[in-house]
Amino acid sequence: MNTKPIISVVIGALLLVGIAAAPATAGSRERGRFEGFALGFGAAVLGHALIHQHHPAERYQAPVDRRPPAPERYHHRRDGHRKTPAYRNQPKHRYHHRRGHWELKRIWVPPAVKKDWKPGHRNRRGRWIPGRWIEVPVSEGHWKKERVWVVGK
């Protein structure tokens, strides 16, 4: 037995029952008009967007710079024969250093500690010891080499 015709008949019957039952629901006439207008307007907007989706006039195009390129700045060389761009004949920038030099110095880095709360407790004899803040070492102190600028005369 073929099940495709049976499924199509059942789906068709359900659709017919759904369509036939829709007008039987009572409601406001104005509400129905507004819903019809909203559905029609939405369909029109969606259809317009789908139809004009690839219209070339609505695509974004980057603006084209129509100005002519700036002319290169030339100047005459001292021999007067060739013209070269101005940036090629500029003197190299000379850095003026301060007097002094770098030295390696040993610097002591103190140990790092953090404060931690030690809650109250009883000792071995049963005596109550109240809680207090204690310093817990995080890292040990050590020597560190660091570059230091020493100003000369």
Burial status of residue 102 (CB atoms within 10 A of its CB: 0-12, 13-18, 19 or more): exposed
* 85 vs 120, residue with greater confidence: 120
Task: Using alpha carbons only, give the angle 72, 78, 82 rounded to the nearest 5 degrees.
Answer: 50
pLDDT tens string 33-71: 888 888 888 888 888 877 766 655 556 677 887 887 776
**How are beta strands 142-151 and 100-109 bridged, if at all?**
antiparallel
CB-CB neighbours of 14 under 10 Å? 10
pLDDT tens string 61-104: 778 878 877 766 655 555 555 555 555 556 666 666 678 888 99
pTM across the whole model: 0.28
φ, ψ dihedrals at 40, nearest 5°: -65, -45
Percent of the chain with pLDDT over 70: 69
* 24 vs 112, residue with greater confidence: 112
Amino acid 111: pLDDT: 93
Rounded CA gap, 45 and 39, in Å?
10
